[in-house]
Amino acid sequence: MIDPESALFVHVRKVVWADTDPAGIAYTGRFPNFALEAIEAWCDARLGMDWFQMHNRLGGGTPFVHMSMDFRAMLRAGDRLASTVALLRAGRSSLEFAVTGRLADGTVSFDGRFVCAFVDDATHKSRPIPERFVPAVAREVALAQAKG
């Protein structure tokens, strides 16, 4: 088990046939999904709530307002993908993540930046990061800065 106080979060998944084209190479459009899946797993592990629970319990979510990715190496069906999630910055209502996906041998497959904003379900307007998340968010930003 990874100690959340000292290590960046890593989400591991297997690339399955449904992620790929007939040649067994992952579709380009699946890469953002791999990253967003890792960020949602980070939310569950580090904030104690996944996106569905945020909507149900807090009346809001974290839609993404920016994504950028660079592709470094292909993924194939059967590959083990380990996506490291680092929270780079927190604003009043926004979170900026870096996600790096690596193959089992350490080869970087992709990296990207992702920005989401806390939004109220009723008004569809941004809202401050919920107080219950502020200590974890501060800890995660400090961890990402320390790992630099």
The two tokens of residue 78 are 């059967």
The amino acid that residue 89 corresponds to is: R
- Tokens at residue 13, please? 């998944």
Amino acid identity of residue 25, one-letter, is I
Cβ neighbour number for residue 102 with a 10 Å cutoff? 20
In this prediction, residue 137 carries a pLDDT of 98
SS (H, E, C) the chain: CCCCCCCCEEEEEECCHHHECCCCEECCCHHHHHHHHHHHHHHHHHHCCCHHHHHHHHCEECCEEEEEEEECCCCECCCEEEEEEEEEEECCCEEEEEEEEECCCCCEEEEEEEEEECEECCCCCECCCCHHHHHHHHHHHHHHHHHC
pLDDT in tens, 42-63: 999 999 999 999 999 999 999 9
**In this structure, what token pair is assigned to residue 102?**
């690596």
**CATH top-level class of 9-147:** alpha beta
Tell me the CA distances in angstroms from 79 to 8, 32, 52, 110, one per residue in order: 21, 17, 28, 14
The domain ranges of the chain are: 9-147
pTM of the predicted model as reported, rounded to 2 decimal places? 0.94
pLDDT at 5 (0 to 100)? 60
pLDDT attached to residue 4: 55
pLDDT of 1 reads: 41
What averages of pLDDT result for each successive group of 10 residues across the chain (148 residues)?
71 97 95 98 97 95 97 97 98 98 98 98 97 97 92
